[in-house]
Amino acid sequence: MDLADIGVTGLAVMGRNLARNLARHGYAVAVHNRSAGRTQQLVKEFAGEGTFVLSEELAGFVASLKRPRRAIIMVKAGAGTDAVIDQLAELMEPGDMIVDGGNAHFADTRRREAALRDKGIHFVGTGISGGEEGALNGPSIMPGGSKESWEALGPILQDISAKVDGVPCAVHVGPDGAGHFVKMVHNGIEYSDMQLIAESYDLLRQALGATPAELAQVFREWNQGELESYLIEITAEVLDQVDVATGKPFIDIVVDQAEQKGTGRWTVQSALDLGVPVTGIAEAVFARALSGHPEQRAAAASLEGPKLSGVGGRELIEDVRQALYASKIVAYAQGFDQMAAASKEYGWDLELGAMATIWRGGCIIRARFLDRIRSAYDADPTLPTLLADPTFAAAVNVAQESWRRVVTTAVQIGVPTPGFSSALAYYDGLRRERLPAALIQGLRDFFGAHTYHRVDRDGAYHTDWSGDRAERPA
Ligand code: 6PG
């Protein structure tokens, strides 16, 4: 029997398409699924695309792989992943590689990597973005794990990844959980991008009374300029869609409660631990949560809003475009801050410009914009915030009057824009010379003797608030 170059276990749509992508690139692919029917179906339907080596049992699957073995797990993240890893590890030998291509939590990946390292097996937690279409035609791939595993896997992953200007959208992200961390932040940014797009649509529809089809055209035009991206492109498609059953715009027959599988929430939880304000992502997660409380929304539906409704004219469209662009810059600045903080905390040595490079194609947040982020980090790899990059600083400066008008209009007519508003508050907070955090420090010292630092002297101080109010070094 000919041995396979690489294997995929878990043949739901993502796994199946990844296996086909590998086969189409000339790799002999071992395939396995818990229920054998899927494996047989894959081979029956797509045998013409390349070489598949079918196994009904995991032992046969492992035996069908060339050494060192390379096996990709494409199962739903969670407890099931541990079970498959354990079974695979039992059958493997030191030097073999287990790749988890699901959306696992990076802490799980760190734990799994450490456990398998003890057995000499390389565990590679890898982010794979691009949905089913990307898995088949070229995703963005974010592998973590050891350098040795990258040497054995990298050429294959780069081969099957998306390419932008000939550059593969796959790079070794860093050790242990780095790949899944970066994929998690990618998803958090995906939440934020979608929230900002949704706010743009909502505000323009409410303020101008524009129809979904008219707004589809607006997004189509925006996609010709600096906002060009996959998500803006598909927004136009969704807004243009008409429901066959009712003849209504598709957008009006969809239940307005956004679901989530958890990666956005994980991003915010991690950001809280790292002390990084990812307010754009947090607002996006909370906006989904708010939408998902129909009982509270029904109870609040009769609460009064402002009397003002339609305001402004067509100039609001350009204002919203500017607000969307500026808020997007803020959201990415925050996401990249989070990656920088995690890199420090976990010793990953992440190269932020490389992350922007592999997000330029294949993934859900792919956009022309990522090229600008890459250039910013090329110019200064130690950039303290993307907002300090001269190109982004100038763009936000150009946008800010529009951005402020948009937030003001939204407040006046009672349309919630938490993404736009929080991004603007972050921008205004970051650029302030003095923040009211000084007052917070005073209050903390007053009620709890938590001490404070002075602007003019080193050391910590405490004022005797309940006594003579004299200051003493703490
Ligand atoms: C991707 C997507 C993918 C998934 C999202 C959806 O990069 O291909 O991000 O991973 O579609 O995780 O996430 P929610 O269900 O949480 O919206």
How far apart CA 286 and CA 277 sit, in angstroms, is: 14
Which tens digits make up the pLDDT trace of 139-168?
A: 999 999 999 999 999 999 999 999 999 999
**Which residue of the set 49, 76, 133, 190 is catalytic?**
190
Q: Which residues of the chain have pLDDT under 50?
A: none
Concerning whether 190 is annotated as a catalytic residue, the answer is yes
Which atom of ligand 1 lies at the shortest distance from residue 261's CA? 16
pLDDT at 310: 64
Ligand 1 atom 10, closest CA: 129
H or E element in which residue 273 lies: helix 263-274
For residue 19, which amino acid is it? A
Beta carbons within 10 angstroms of residue 260's beta carbon? 14
Distance from the CA of 278 to the center of ligand 1, in angstroms? 18
Helix, strand, coil proportions of the chain in percent (round to 5)? 55, 10, 30
- Are the C-beta atoms of residues 392 and 411 closer than 8 Å to each other? no
402's tokens: 């529009």
Residue 127, ligand 1, Cβ within 6 A: no
Which is catalytic among the residues 113, 183, 199, 283?
A: 183
Does the beta carbon of 103 lie inside 6 Å of ligand 1? yes
DSSP one-letter code for 78: S
Tell me how many degrees the CA angle 329-334-336 measures, rounded to the nearest 5: 95
Can you tell me the distance from the alpha carbon of 278 to that of 360, in angstroms, rounded to the nearest whole number?
21
Cα 132 to Cα 295: distance, rounded to the nearest angstrom: 34
Q: Which of 190, 192, 230 has the most ligand 1 atoms within 8 A of CB, as the residue to mutate? A: 190
- In the chain, the amino acid numbered 143 is P
Indicate which residue's Cα is closest to atom 14 of ligand 1.
260
CB neighbours of residue 129 within 10 Å:
25
What pLDDT does 313 receive? Answer: 84
Q: Where are the alpha helices (DSSP H) in 301-368?
A: 315-346, 352-358
Nearest to 266 by CA among 387, 181, 164, 352: 181
Q: How many residues does the chain have?
A: 474
In angstroms, what is the span from residue 449 Cα to ligand 1's centroid?
46
Query: pLDDT value at position 2?
Result: 84
Report CA(456)–ligand 1 centroid distance (Å): 49
Supply the pTM of this predicted model.
Answer: 0.97
**Which of the listed residues 13, 76, 103 should we mutate to test ligand 1's pocket, taking the one with most ligand atoms within 8 A of CB?**
103
Ligand 1 centroid from CA 80, angstroms: 19
294-299 contacts at long range (C-beta below 8 A, 24 or more positions apart): 294/257
- Tokens representing 197 are 């797009």
Mutate to test the pocket of ligand 1, among 261, 359, 365 (most ligand atoms within 8 A of CB): 261
Element of type H or E holding 461:
strand 460-463
Which helix H or strand E contains 296, and what residues bound it? Answer: helix 294-300
C-alpha distance from residue 384 to each of 245, 277, 346, 364, 436 (Å):
52, 14, 19, 26, 22
Reported in sequence order, the residue ranges of 22-104 that DSSP labels E, i.e. its strands, are 29-32, 52-54, 70-73, 97-100
Q: What is the pLDDT of residues 33-79, one digit of tens each?
A: 999 999 999 999 999 999 999 999 999 999 999 999 999 999 988 88
Residues 6 or more apart from 57 whose CB is under 8 A from it?
32
As a whole number of angstroms, the longest Cα–Cα distance in the chain is 89
Q: Is the CB of 190 under 6 A from ligand 1?
A: yes
Burial class (CB in 10 A: 0-12, 13-18, 19+), 52: buried
Predicted local confidence at residue 365, as pLDDT: 97
